[in-house]
A and B are shown apart, each in its own frame.
Chain A
Amino acid sequence: MNTFPNPTPTNDYFADIGFWLKGTGVHHYVIGLILALVLTIIPFALLEIHLTSKHETFTHPFLMLVAVVCALLQFLVQVAFFLHLVGRGAPRERLAIFSGACLVVAILVGGSLWIMTDLSARMTAPPSDSQMEFYMQDQGGF
Chain B
Amino acid sequence: MMLFYLLGTIALAAAVNVVAQRRVFYSALFLIICLCALSGLYMLLQAPFIAAVQVIVYAGAIMVLFLFVIMLLDPFSAVPLSEKKRYLGYLGIAMGTATLVLLVPFLLSYDLSRVPRNVTGMAAGTGITRRIGETIFKEYLLPFEVTSVLILVAIIGAVILGKKKI
Q: Do A and B belong to a common assembly?
A: no
Q: Contact residues of B with A, CB < 8 Å?
A: none
Q: Contact residues of A with B, CB < 8 Å?
A: none
